[in-house]
Amino acid sequence: MTIAVFPGSFDPLTNGHLDLITRASKIFDHLIVAVGQNTSKRGVFTTDERVAFIEETTRDMANVSVRVESGLTVDFMRASHATVLVRGIRNSVDFEYEQGIAGMNRTLDANVDTVCLMAAPQYQFVSSSLLREVARFGGDLTNLVPPVVAHAMVARLAGDQ
């Protein structure tokens, strides 16, 4: 059984993330979405909220689970018996960044392979900072994030300028 991990902050969860989760769930026997706790920056949503959004939007995917991770992803993977790290790539900048991380992870644990999935064209421009800006000004997030996330973002950020 091949267990894969898709790590990220998911702040916010986007339709691009959800597309990658869906695609990866069809490739691997089990996919763990690992929600990272980033203590160095203040996010829009708490870790518990981000986990809840992912659980709600993936509830029909039987082979997907959601867990919180802190520390090194390779340590999380080892504890989860995972051997594949899934990453999404939107552009060449992402590729170069992910290439360095893949090399470091492989150095830390030779059993970890990284698989990069290209972002679907309609999501290649989506970034957390752009989404926060759109939400702050009450813009339409319908095609960019799941409905539960859109409502929560607007409620939290609208008028927060």
- Best CA proximity match to 140, nearest among 151, 148, 129: 151
How many C-beta atoms lie closer than 10 Å to residue 5's C-beta? 25
* Selected catalytic residue, list 128, 132, 136, 156: 128
**92 annotated to a ligand binding site:** no
H, E, C per residue of 85-134: EEEEECCHHHHHHHHHHHHHHHHHCCCCEEEEEECCHHHCCCCHHHHHHH
Annotated catalytic, 41?
A: yes
* Selected catalytic residue, list 23, 90, 132, 156: 90
* Selected catalytic residue, list 26, 40, 41, 42: 41
**23 annotated to a ligand binding site:** no
**76 annotated to a ligand binding site:** no
- Size of the chain in residues: 161
**3 annotated to a ligand binding site:** no
Annotated catalytic, 90?
A: yes
The CA distance from 131 to 129, in Å, is 5
**55 annotated to a ligand binding site:** no
**127 annotated to a ligand binding site:** yes
Annotated catalytic, 17?
A: yes
Amino acid at 2: T
Which residue is it, tokens 């150095």? 107
**16 annotated to a ligand binding site:** no
Which residue is it, tokens 């960044």? 97
**87 annotated to a ligand binding site:** yes
The CA distance from 17 to 45, in Å, is 16
**43 annotated to a ligand binding site:** no
Annotated catalytic, 26?
A: no
**Binding-site residues:** 9-10, 17, 41, 73, 87-90, 98, 123-129
**Binding-site residues for ATP:** 9-10, 17, 88-90, 98, 123-129
List, by residue number, the catalytic residues.
17, 41, 90, 128
**Binding-site residues for substrate:** 9, 41, 73, 87
